[in-house]
């Protein structure tokens, strides 16, 4: 589930292209997580450096997949998360879900993103150029309005 | 006994892993770590043994893979 550096648009395009062979899918929901140039106490985020407890993340990811497939009648789930440095504006997370109909793809994608953020041992270090760094803190899941 | 540190905790430990004298149980290990690295007490973390979260006291084997994990911030 990991890739070194940012997720390039060619990688995303390739994964979308591969879906064409699944003629039973009527929907594909895609989420892209991007590094945002937040300003924190006067310093701007230039990049995030991602690290992970890789073996544990991989097994928790397998559990996450089982949970999502159990809960939603989807056809496929594809996740890619960056490790190492990803600059502001670049993509660090890709979640792709396919299903026959759109409702389950959309719901499964949303839950997958939430579970990645809350259950996988991955950490982000926000880099402020010459101003140092700060460890990222994930917000609580926002309330659905 | 090797203890792995992730995220902010690696900054506090000064390293991604420390080799320590084996301890028989997790409570002893945590007590030793907090004595060695007093700053640890200020931070929230979870202990894992062989990739499983441990709460409460647990017997340790010198070959166990031990890690201290701060709250996750991936995705």
Q: How far is A125 from chain B (nearest CA, A)?
A: 8
CB contact A52 to B (< 8 Å)? yes
Distance of CA A140 to the CA centre of its chain: 16
Share of chain A above pLDDT 70, in %: 96
Distance of CA A96 to the CA centre of its chain: 9
Distance of CA B58 to the CA centre of its chain: 13
- Judging contacts by C-beta atoms under 8 Å, the chain B residues touching residue A31 are none
pLDDT digits (tens, 9 = 90+) for A76-87: 999 999 999 999
* Residue to test with chain B: of A135, A137, A139, A142, most B Cβ within 10 A: A135
pLDDT of residue A142: 60
Please indicate whether residue B1 or residue A85 has the higher confidence score (pLDDT): A85
Task: Tell me if A62 sits within 8 A of A54, measured CB to CB.
Answer: no
Per DSSP, A125 falls in state E
Q: What sections of chain B are H helices per DSSP?
A: 8-13, 26-36
Interface list for chain B against chain A, based on CB atoms closer than 8 Å: 4, 6-8, 48, 51, 67, 69-75
Closest CA to A97 of A115, A77, A71, A80: A77
pLDDT band at A131 (very low <50, low <70, confident <90, very high): confident
* Torsion on CA atoms B52, B57, B63, B68, rounded to nearest 10: 60
Computed from CA positions of residues B65, B67, B71, B75, in that sequence, does the dihedral angle turn out positive or negative?
negative
pLDDT band at A41 (very low <50, low <70, confident <90, very high): confident
Q: How far is B18 from chain A (nearest CA, A)?
A: 16
pLDDT band at A139 (very low <50, low <70, confident <90, very high): confident
- Judging contacts by C-beta atoms under 8 Å, the chain A residues touching residue B7 are 51, 123, 125, 135
Q: Which residues pair with A78 in a beta bridge?
A: A96
CB contact A127 to B (< 8 Å)? no
Whether A96 shows a pLDDT value over 90: the answer reads yes
**Predicted complex ipTM exceeds 0.85:** yes
> pTM value?
0.94
Which range (A110-119, A136-145, B62-71) has the least confidence? A136-145
Does the distance separating the beta carbons of A33 and B75 come in below 8 Å? yes
Cβ-nearest to A123 among B4, B67, B70: B70
Query: CA-nearest residue of chain B to A125?
Result: B7
Report the residue count for chain A.
145
pLDDT of residue A145: 41
Average pLDDT over residues A86-108: 98
């Amino acid at each position: 589930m990991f890739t070194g550096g940012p997720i390039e648009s060619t990688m995303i395009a390739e994964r979308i292209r591969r879906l064409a062979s699944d003629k039973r899918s009527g929907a594909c929901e895609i989420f892209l997580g991007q590094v945002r140039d937040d300003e924190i106490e006067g310093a701007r985020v230039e990049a995030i450096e991602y690290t992970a407890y890789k073996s544990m993340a991989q097994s928790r990811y397998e559990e996450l997949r089982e949970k999502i497939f159990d809960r939603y009648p989807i056809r496929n789930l594809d996740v890619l998360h960056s490790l190492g440095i990803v600059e502001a504006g670049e993509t660090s997370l890709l979640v792709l879900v396919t299903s026959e109909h759109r409702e389950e793809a959309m719901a499964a994608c949303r839950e997958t993103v939430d579970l990645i953020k809350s259950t996988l041992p991955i950490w982000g270090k926000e880099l402020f150029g010459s101003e140092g760094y700060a460890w990222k803190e994930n917000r609580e899941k926002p309330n659905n309005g | 006994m090797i203890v792995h540190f992730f995220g902010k905790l690696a900054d506090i430990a000064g390293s991604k892993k420390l080799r320590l004298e084996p301890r028989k149980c997790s409570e002893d290990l945590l007590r030793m770590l907090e004595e060695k690295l007093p700053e640890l007490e200020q931070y929230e973390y979870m202990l894992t043994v062989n990739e499983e979260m441990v709460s409460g006291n647990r017997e340790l084997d010198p070959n166990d893979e031990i890690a201290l994990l701060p709250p996750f911030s991936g995705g």
